[in-house]
Amino acid sequence: MNQRIRSNELPERISHRILQEIAVGTMEAGQHVSAQQVADRYRVSRTPVREALSSLEKCGVLKRKTNRGYFVPAEIPNGLNELIEEYRQSPADPYQQLANDWVANRLPGEVTEQHLRQNYGWSKSKVVELLARATREGWAERKDGYGWRFLPVAKTSQAFEQIYRLRLAIEPAALLEPTFQLDRKVLDEQRRIQSGMLEKGADTVAEELQLSNGSLFHEEIIKLSGNQFFLQALTQVNRMRRLMEYKVKVDPIRTAEQCTEHLEIIDLLESGDIVEASYKMRSHLAGALKIKTSTTLD
């Protein structure tokens, strides 16, 4: 495998996540890697995705076919795990630093770009980039006139509990909506992702990818309800809890249990036992609530 190609922070984060998805099997050998699909899934623009894909091609991780785009090679190249570890050890992510400081109450609720530049030593363009990402993720907004406002997120056990109680109310109910329709393609894809996590071993998967795949499963299932407001509510609260969950040590044993429960829900849906799937979803979330509130500190 060729030496890693250095680039700026966002493309590097995208590269690391793609590497993890290839290693875990979320992206399979021979699969077409579309810049637009990656951008949509990671909620970024196509420009840093294209840079990441080009970098991974130079590293020998992806293959580019003329007029067809990028593909995962039929045989995963040697040295993939070493490359993943090198990306994992990249310098601290400024976005995560900003998010951590907000979660830890080290930032005021309202700030100016000048304040952030002076506080962190970042350039004007970097501050604008980070605030734009925080806005997309749902925890910052521009004030009318001047300055920025950071929005409430799940900073405490109480907030976590309230979020999971909302999920307990809407996710099982979504499966019972009259507009609910099974999509075998969606279920097959989620089965592949969850099974891949189990087969690879959750302890070998980056914590960010463990959390991302878990959120993706629930968002894809609730999407089948045909009720866009259920999906919007879940997507919003997932963003609000994400900042805190990155600060809590992810337990690979619990991740494996969650993957197993996800697969059980898929089995029930495929068998047509929607009511039982709804009940299983409720017990699954209730278990997560109990664990999350006991491990997330105020």
- Whether the pLDDT of residue 264 is over 80: the answer is yes
| Residue of 1 and 250 predicted with greater confidence | 250
Q: Which region among 3-7, 70-74, 175-179, 263-267 has the lowest average model confidence (pLDDT)?
A: 3-7
Give the mean model confidence (pLDDT) for residues 70-92: 65
| Residue of 127 and 14 predicted with greater confidence | 127
The reported pTM is 0.67
DSSP string, 4-53: PPP--HHHHHHHHHHHHHHHHTSS-TT-EE-HHHHHHHHT--HHHHHHHH
Phi (first) and psi of residue 167, to 5 degrees = -65, -40
Sheet of strand 63-65, all strands in order from the earlier edge strand to the far edge: 32-33, 69-71, 63-65
- Whether the pLDDT of residue 19 is over 70: the answer is yes
Listed in sequence order, the residues at least 6 apart from 83 whose beta carbon sits closer than 8 Å to its beta carbon are: 1, 4, 19, 59, 61
Give the mean model confidence (pLDDT) for residues 234-246: 77
Give the mean model confidence (pLDDT) for residues 257-277: 96
Q: Which region among 23-32, 97-106, 159-168, 277-286 has the lowest average model confidence (pLDDT)?
A: 23-32
Domains of the chain, each with CATH number or no CATH: 9-88 (1.10.10.10), 94-150 (1.10.10.10), 157-295 (1.20.120.530)
- Whether the pLDDT of residue 102 is over 70: the answer is yes
pLDDT value, residue 268: 97
CA dist 17 and 49 (Å) reads: 11
| Residue of 25 and 33 predicted with greater confidence | 33
pLDDT value, residue 297: 43
CA dist 295 and 199 (Å) reads: 26
CA dist 133 and 50 (Å) reads: 18
Give the mean model confidence (pLDDT) for residues 198-205: 74
User: Strand 148-150 vs strand 140-142: parallel, antiparallel, or unpaired?
Assistant: antiparallel
Q: What mean pLDDT is reported for the chain? A: 83
- Whether the pLDDT of residue 90 is over 80: the answer is no
Percent of the chain exceeding pLDDT 70 equals 84
Tell me which DSSP letter residue 173 carries.
H
Specify the DSSP element, H or E, that contains 190. helix 184-200
What is the band of 5 on the pLDDT scale with cuts at 50, 70, 90?
A: very low
